[in-house]
A and B are shown apart, each in its own frame.
Chain A
Amino acid sequence: DQQVKQNSPSLSVQEGRISILNCDYTNSMFDYFLWYKKYPAEGPTFLISISSIKDKNEDGRFTVFLNKSAKHLSLHIVPSQPGDSAVYFCAATNFGSSNTGKLIFGQGTTLQVKP
């Protein structure tokens, strides 16, 4: 049973436009969410995170929005650049009650930003 789902395997956008990557989760105990970016032949790298007590977190061109009632989060990249082309993984964890460091990942979305 996939607790974290990224239903769009791929996304293609034009350089300079907004990229929106979506993620849904089913476990209401998740209280911390992260996005990782992965280039080919490299390991994932941490991008941005958000605690469940917030509904938005911004870091430069990257903004993560959390809608707890809908159990949905999204990553916005504005403006998109060709170097943003990568696989993006959404991840969730129950940080508050038992911080075992366990991350539950989504399947990933491949973003292609066209020049």
Chain B
Amino acid sequence: EAQVTQNPRYLITVTGKKLTVTCSQNMNHEYMSWYRQDPGLGLRQIYYSMNVEVTDKGDVPEGYKVSRKEKRNFPLILESPSPNQTSLYFCASSRPGSYNEQFFGPGTRLTVL
């Protein structure tokens, strides 16, 4: 089944404790992206990657890191999480030439205390 998977789905952590949210897709998509969803703000792009070893900042990259060492994986790293990073996070991927019609993962709900 073609899908984007994220782990964990739910996470409660404390300020300053480094964490990684994994994202994997099995559709051989070149493009991958991370978003956060907050009430009243919709989805905002954090980082994106056009291909392996190619990443760039989205609208709200502060406090986040990403890496793209393999085509299928695009982990999101929070080196020192803070309460304002409490949010619902989505990973997405898409086919070459169809970057706009993105397939989304199920989401990771993160709470930073």
Contact = CB atoms under 8 A, between A and B. Distances in A.
A108 B106 CA distance: 17
B21 interface: no
A101 B42 contact: no
Interface residues of B, number: 27
Contacts of A105: 35, 42-44
B107 A100 contact: no
B99 A44 contact: no
B90 interface: yes
Contact of A106 (B4, B42, B103, B107): B42
B107 A103 contact: no
Interface in B30-52: 31, 33, 35, 40-45, 48, 50
A36 B104 CA distance: 10
B31 A43 contact: no
Nearest to A95: B100
Chain A interface size, as a band, is 20 to 34
Contact of B42 (A34, A100, A102, A107): A107
Contacts of B43: 44, 89, 91, 103, 105
A101 B90 contact: no
A51 to B, nearest CB: 10
B104 A101 contact: no
Interface of A: 4, 6, 32, 34, 36, 41-46, 49, 89, 91, 93, 95, 99-103, 105-108
